[in-house]
A and B are shown apart, each in its own frame.
Chain A
Amino acid sequence: MSVGERLRPATATRRWVGLGAATLAWLVLYQANGPFWDWLVYRMASLDPASRLGSGVHFFFEDTVKIGLLLVGVIFAVTVLRSFMSVERTRALLGGKREGVGNVMAAGLGVITPFCSCSAVPAFIGFVAAGVPLGVTMSFLIASPLVNEVAIGLLFGMFGIGPTLLYVGAGLLIAIVAGFVLGRLKLERWVEPFVFETRLGGQVIDPSAGLTWEDRIQMGVEEVGVILRKIWPYLLVGIALGAAIHGWAPEDFFTQYAGAGNPLAVLIAVLIGIPLYSNAAGIMPLVQALHDKDLPMGTLLAFTMAVVALSLPELILLRRVLKPPLIATFVAVTGAGIIAVGYLFNAVIPA
């Protein structure tokens, strides 16, 4: 019996009361987190807030709990909201759309459609078989991992609404432009031929249809468990590295090499980020620690995007339907978009 089944309440009233109580408990824990570790680390354990050990230890515990809470809240809310959308519905909306309008819609839908990268191949074939242009399909495939719900939640919790909106806007822009460019390049000859021969058969069923509120809430609870089980090692490594940087890295070490003074910083950050396979949860603690060391936001956002948008496992999956030159072009165009956005932000946001 899954957690969701055990949690399933008997009546609608109990369900909403339960949800309300959980929300309240979440808010209280979130507010109490900082003061609690101040008390435990600085008062009870008598570590000096100004010392490396003290601030490093405090950063590790406070961030672990804070990020854990943010993830639980964001994953639950996003899963429930996304249960109203589906890849099937998105494909129906995109069918017959021209390039341009299609790219804009595909990028937006890529953000709100529940999508697992393990479904990238069937979704790609399904879109193309339904007559969605290649470039429009690419906009969807770029936006979906790039504008990541975990990253949105964590950015909002750590840096506030400004950087979060910048991240979402930049991600959409990259997906629209990169998809449009890829469409213009007429790369159909580098798609495996079987894709164009495949026909959608059977009756397409929409997974988002016919769900009750109980189903949606249950899906939210289960998704929290699934994602946390999957990402916790990345998260702990990320927070530990963040704590080490926070407490031990010399104040000017990073600004010297990757600060506003180095014109190649964004380029290098993106080139490091592309092969790095982690996820938003593992990256964000690092980003926060580096931000505290005065690294510019554009460089950090570009690094985050490079890590989450382009990952080796997804590229290997896509190899089943795309030939290597198209995969290389896909990585190059998306990477170039991320680099451009990084420089743009560094130019417009004062460090």
Chain B
Amino acid sequence: MIIKILGSGCANCVNLELVTREAVADLGIDAQFEKVTDYPAIIGYGVMSTPGLVVDEKVILSGRVPTAAKVRELLESLTS
């Protein structure tokens, strides 16, 4: 799966990527990470509050940094 982290490089985006990588490692998913820092592209996903988490072109979270457990939950519901 392709995971995109939306945000212009603030601390929240870095944290979101950290917890997401943790969740991906826990689940043993084969995932590719990409950063989206371009504002029009971020808005293009409908995200107005960064950071945003996009999995396979679908926005699954925005506006806050969740816990790794929460991301794991969200990713599990997508893969099953």
Contact = CB atoms under 8 A, between A and B. Distances in A.
B8 A118 contact: yes
Contacts of B33: none
Contacts of B68: 1-2
Contact of A219 (B48, B60, B61, B64): B64
Contacts of B8: 118, 121
Given A2-B67, A116-B12, A118-B10, A205 B44 contact: no
Given A88-B48, A119-B49, A119-B50, A201 B12 contact: no
B48 A123 contact: yes
Interface in A185-206: 194, 197-205
A118 B12 contact: yes
3 A-B pairs closest in CB distance? A207-B63, A202-B46, A126-B48
A43 interface: no
Interface residues of B, number: 25
Interface string B30-57: 0000000001101111111110000000
Query: Is the interface on chain A under 10, 10 to 19, 20 to 34, or 35 or more residues?
Result: 35 or more
A121 B43 CA distance: 10
A194 to B, nearest CB: 6
B59 A126 contact: no
Interface of A: 1-2, 4-5, 86-88, 91, 114-116, 118-119, 121-123, 125-127, 129, 194, 197-205, 207, 218-219, 320-321
Most chain A beta carbons < 10 A, residue from B45, B49, B60, B67:
B49
Contact of B67 (A4, A88, A202): A4
Most chain A beta carbons < 10 A, residue from B48, B62, B63:
B48
B49 to A, nearest CB: 5
Nearest to B10: A118
A87 B52 CA distance: 13
A43 to B, nearest CB: 44
B69 interface: yes
Contacts of B69: 5
A253 B69 CA distance: 56
Nearest to A117: B10
Contacts of A114: 63
B43 A122 contact: yes
B39 A121 contact: yes
Contacts of B62: 205, 207
